[in-house]
Amino acid sequence: MTTPTLPSLHAHLADAARAAAAVARGAQGAPLDSPTPAGEWDLRTLVDHWVLYTGHGLEHRARRTDLPAELVDRDFAAEPDWPQRYAEQLDRAVAAWRDPAAWRGEIDLGGGMAVPVEAVVGMNLAELVLHGWDVAAATGQTIELAAPTAEAVLAAVEQCAEMMRQYDGFAEALPSDDAMPALERALRLSGRDPHWRP
C-alpha cells in the first residue's frame, strides 16, 4: 500500500478529527465504568487517554513541546462538557499541523528515539481512529470515515503494528483478507475484534 503524502496526511488527520469529535459527542452521558474493547480499560480510562494523546498530544507533537503535567493528571471524562472541549482541542491540533514547519525533520519520542515526522503523524492518525472506534463500540456507535482516510489508517497500522505489539499497544493480529473494508483490516491488524459488543 502506498504511503500517503504529507499534504494528504493532513487532510486525513482533519477527517479523522471530525469523525472522533462526532463519536465523542455521541458518547456524552454514557456510564464511565462501561466496558470497552481496549483491554481492561473502562470508558473513563479510555476517554482520558484518547483526549490526552490524540487531542492535546497531537498539538504538542506539532509544536515540539512537552505535555504539561497538569494535563497528564487530568480526569477529562469527569468534565460534563468533555466532548465539546475535545472537539475544540482537536481543531487546535489540526490547525497546528497546518504550519509547514511542523512537517520538517524528526520528532523526539523520548529515550533518544527520533522518528520521521510523517511516521509520527501516521501513528497519531491510527491512535485517533482506533481509540475512536473503541469509544464508538463501547457506546453503541460507529465511526464514520472517508474511504481515503480509512485507507491511510490501514497504511499507518501496517507500518507501526509490530512496534506497537512490542510495547503492548496492540494485541495479536486477527485474521483478515483484502476483500474486507480498510478500517476492518486495520482493526484486525491491531488485534481488535470488529464485532466486539459490550
Domain ranges of the chain: 6-146
Please give the share of the chain, as a percent, with pLDDT higher than 90.
86
The rounded distance, in Å, linking the Cα atoms of 185 and 146 is 15
Question: Parallel, antiparallel, or unpaired for β 106-108 and 114-116?
Answer: antiparallel
Question: Cell numbers of 161, please?
Answer: 503494528
Query: Which amino acid appears at position 146 of this protein?
Result: A
Structural contact between residues 153 and 9, judged by C-beta atoms closer than 8 angstroms: no
From residue 68, alpha-carbon distances to 12, 41, 184 in Å are 27, 23, 35
Identify the pLDDT of residue 123: 93
> Going by C-beta distance under 8 Å and a sequence separation of 6 or more, which residues neighbour residue 105?
117
In this model, does residue 1 exceed pLDDT 70?
A: no
Structural contact between residues 43 and 51, judged by C-beta atoms closer than 8 angstroms: no
**Average pLDDT of every residue of the chain:** 94
Q: In sequence order, what are the beta bridge partners of 116?
A: 106
Q: What mean pLDDT is predicted for residues 98-118?
A: 89
pTM to 2 decimals? 0.94
- 3-state class of 108 per DSSP? strand
Identify the pLDDT of residue 2: 47
* Domain 6-146 classification at class level: mainly alpha
